[in-house]
């Protein structure tokens, strides 16, 4: 019997061939990619806000220039990702309209406040650490433009993670007050970071199909486990305590057992009721409205140039 288009598509996926924008693809594949890539793009842009909050208060000129560069990198990541989503037929104006209307999701982690300088350390160390674990496998995701965008993003994320760890290390080697500040920040960021990987596999509606299509290469729980196994020794090296009484090395599985994430809190934050959801969205809406004159001026300029070039 002849294979259907969908079966041929799955054969290409199974042979690890990249799917490109003009190739045939099932509607649901296109839809789930637009969903994931646009959420990812929004996360990068909204993710600039918690760290942007500390640019004017960075403790030294050196820290300030590093933080500025990092926050600008996140803007760049957002732009590559919006472009990748556009190759699937999504319109950037529509994606942004959905974000501004509160209809589009972005990572739960950016709805938590950055209260002290140590939070900037934790965002780099833990949040970028989680982002890297999730994104390195995405360099091999089946959709070409998304995979290629991830290569550069991951290189930049490694620098971000390193700078976060180094902030933590400096604080942990400093005065007792600085070490306490680092511990207090870890206490607040640990659990929200574990939530970044998404719901448990048996409660994740998208995982099975995204694995079959090789959009995702690991499940949410697999990545969460890798994260804990990677981070616990780093916390020990810093002399910090991971705030989880259930945390214990499991010899048989050669990994850590750890406590249960507060899923009630996770869904509250995802559904708009976290500490900063309102402020984050308002900041994006304000930026869009205050930037209207720039967009208008750019369009007017392009129009003038076009008229000048006409014979
Ligand atoms: N927050 O069925 P699943 C960064 C939603 S890193 C909010 O498991 P999926 C770097 C999910 O969308 C952060 N919503 O979904 C940076 C779905 O809702 P939907 C961004 C979440 O897609 C660092 C529903 O729950 N990284 O920005 C979350 O298979 C520092 C059911 O979930 C990425 O986006 C959550 N944590 O797996 C920037 C990576 N988790 O759409 C600035 C790419 C789940 O059905 C500063 N994305 N949901 O209504 C992915 O790998 C996947 O989309 C997952 C979720 C793993 C996030």
- CA-proximal residue: ligand 1, atom 25 (nearest): 198
Contact 214, 137 (CB under 8 A): no
Q: With a 6 A CB cut-off, is 195 part of the ligand 1 pocket?
A: yes
Write down the pTM of the prediction: 0.96
The pick from 28, 107, 164, 167 for probing ligand 1's pocket by mutation, whose C-beta has the most ligand atoms within 8 angstroms, reads: 107
pLDDT digits (tens, 9 = 90+) for 266-284: 999 999 999 999 999 999 9
Residue 90 Cα to ligand 1 middle (Å)? 18
Residue 219 Cα to ligand 1 middle (Å)? 12
Q: Which residues pair with 19 in a beta bridge?
A: 143
What is the rounded CA–CA span in Å between residue 195 and residue 198?
6
What is the rounded CA–CA span in Å between residue 39 and residue 47?
12
pLDDT digits (tens, 9 = 90+) for 279-303: 999 999 999 999 999 999 999 999 9
Rounded mean pLDDT of the chain?
A: 97
Residue 196 Cα to ligand 1 middle (Å)? 7
Could you tell me which of 69, 249, 80 has the C-alpha nearest to residue 162? 69
Low-confidence ranges of the chain (pLDDT < 70): none
For the chain, percent of residues with pLDDT exceeding 70: 100
- CA-proximal residue: ligand 1, atom 18 (nearest): 105
Torsion of CA 47, 202, 209, 156, to 10 degrees: 30
At residue 205, the pLDDT reads: 97
pLDDT digits (tens, 9 = 90+) for 221-252: 999 999 999 999 999 999 999 999 999 999 99
| CB atoms near residue 51 (< 10 Å) | 23
What is the rounded CA–CA span in Å between residue 6 and residue 9?
5
Structure tokens at 121: 């350390």
At residue 116, the pLDDT reads: 98
């Amino acid at each position: 019997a002849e294979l259907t288009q969908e079966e041929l598509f799955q054969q290409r996926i199974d042979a690890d061939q990249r799917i490109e924008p003009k190739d045939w693809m099932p509607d649901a594949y296109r839809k789930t990619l637009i969903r994931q890539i646009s959420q990812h793009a929004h996360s990068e842009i909204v993710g600039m806000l918690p760290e942007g909050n500390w640019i004017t208060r960075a403790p030294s000129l050196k820290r300030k220039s590093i933080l500025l560069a990092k926050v600008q990198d996140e803007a760049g990541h957002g732009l590559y990702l919006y472009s990748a989503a556009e190759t699937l037929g999504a319109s950037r104006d529509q994606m942004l309209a959905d974000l501004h209307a509160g209809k589009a999701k972005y990572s739960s982690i950016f709805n938590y406040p950055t209260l002290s300088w140590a939070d900037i350390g934790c965002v780099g160390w833990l949040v970028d650490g989680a982002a890297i674990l999730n994104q390195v496998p995405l360099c091999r995701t089946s959709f070409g433009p998304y995979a290629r965008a991830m290569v550069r993003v991951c290189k930049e994320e490694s620098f971000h993670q390193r700078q976060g760890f180094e902030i933590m290390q400096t604080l942990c080697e400093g005065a007792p007050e600085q070490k306490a500040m680092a511990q207090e920040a870890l206490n607040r960021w640990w659990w929200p970071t574990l939530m970044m990987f998404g719901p448990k596999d048996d409660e994740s509606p998208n995982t099975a199909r995204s694995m079959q299509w090789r959009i995702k290469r690991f499940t949410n729980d697999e990545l969460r486990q890798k994260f804990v196994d990677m981070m616990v020794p780093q916390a020990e090296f810093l002399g910090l305590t991971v705030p989880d009484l259930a945390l214990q090395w499991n010899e048989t599985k050669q990994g850590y057992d750890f406590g249960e994430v507060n899923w009630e809190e996770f869904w509250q934050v995802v559904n708009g009721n976290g500490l900063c959801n309102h402020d984050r969205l308002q900041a994006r809406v304000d930026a869009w409205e205050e930037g209207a004159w720039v967009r208008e001026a750019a369009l007017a300029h392009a129009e003038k140039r076009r008229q000048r070039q006409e014979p």
